[in-house]
Amino acid sequence: MPRVSQEQAKLNRQRVVEVASSLFRERGLHGIGVVDIMAAAGLTHGGFYGQFANKDALAAEAFDAAIGAEYQANLDAFIENYLSLGHVRTPGRGCPVAALVNDVGREPSGSALRSRFTHAVKGLAGLIADRLPKSSKERRRQRALVALSTMVGAVVLARGVDDEALADELLEAARTTVPGSAGPG
């Protein structure tokens, strides 16, 4: 069997991380296995352990890849996208914090994924705090934590209900109360 070039191995790894990132957000950390992830990436599962120590290592890297996109938008665009039915309906392309909060909460303290999750929550809160109207640093942080909690909570609840009108109402209520939000719209 011919060896894969270093460049191809790098591309394969990137593809596995992207696919895993989406699948973990859609199905949860324990709702998808290595074999299925590799198949979805168009690769055999035999190459997995040459790239990753284990599934947990892949999950941590996939989480990092997913959270990176969250830091790119301005605050109003970030909030508008976050608190949308589109985000609710497509967890595989959405924020990994909202998609994986319950799974990560069951991970042992100190795990690589839990550490990355904590870093992401701090980062998202910082992103929001930095864009809030000037007040004390402590006040901006507190308002940012409330905003992030409201946003994640609204998305998680909207995903859980089977009433689209209620889901939209949850998102709208969050949009009107989140500091820095453009408000209703």
Check whether 185 has a pLDDT greater than 60: no
Report which secondary-structure segment, H or E, holds 67.
helix 55-68
Q: Is the pLDDT of residue 39 over 90?
A: yes
pLDDT at 166: 98
Which pTM was predicted? Answer: 0.86
Amino acid identity for residue 77 in this structure? A
Query: What pLDDT is attached to residue 184?
Result: 42
Q: Determine the length of the chain.
A: 185
Q: Within 13 Å of residue 58, how many CA atoms lie on the same side as its CB?
A: 30
Q: Could you read off the pLDDT of 44-102 as tens digits, one per residue?
A: 988 898 899 999 999 999 999 998 866 666 788 889 999 999 999 999 999 999 999 99
Q: For position 74, what pLDDT does the model report?
A: 77
Task: In whole angstroms, give the CA distance from residue 154 to residue 156.
Answer: 6
Structure tokens at 92: 């595989």
131 SS3 class? coil
Q: Is 131 exposed, middle or buried (0-12, 13-18, 19+ CB in 10 A)?
A: middle
* Average pLDDT estimate for 12-36: 95
Q: How confident is the model over 111-162, as pLDDT tens digits?
A: 999 999 999 999 999 989 988 888 899 999 999 999 999 999 999 999 999 9
Average pLDDT over residues 100-105: 95
24, 59 Cβ separation under 8 angstroms:
yes
Q: Are 8 and 43 in contact (CB under 8 A)?
A: no
Exposure letters 2-34 (e unless 16+ CB within 10 A, then b):
eeeeeeeeeebbeebbebbbbbbbebebeebeb
pLDDT given for residue 50 in this prediction: 85
Q: Give pLDDT, residue 98.
A: 96
Contact, 183 vs 79, CB < 8 A?
no
CA dist 10 and 20 (Å) reads 15
The pLDDT of residue 72 is: 66
Rounded Cα gap, residues 144 and 174, in angstroms = 13
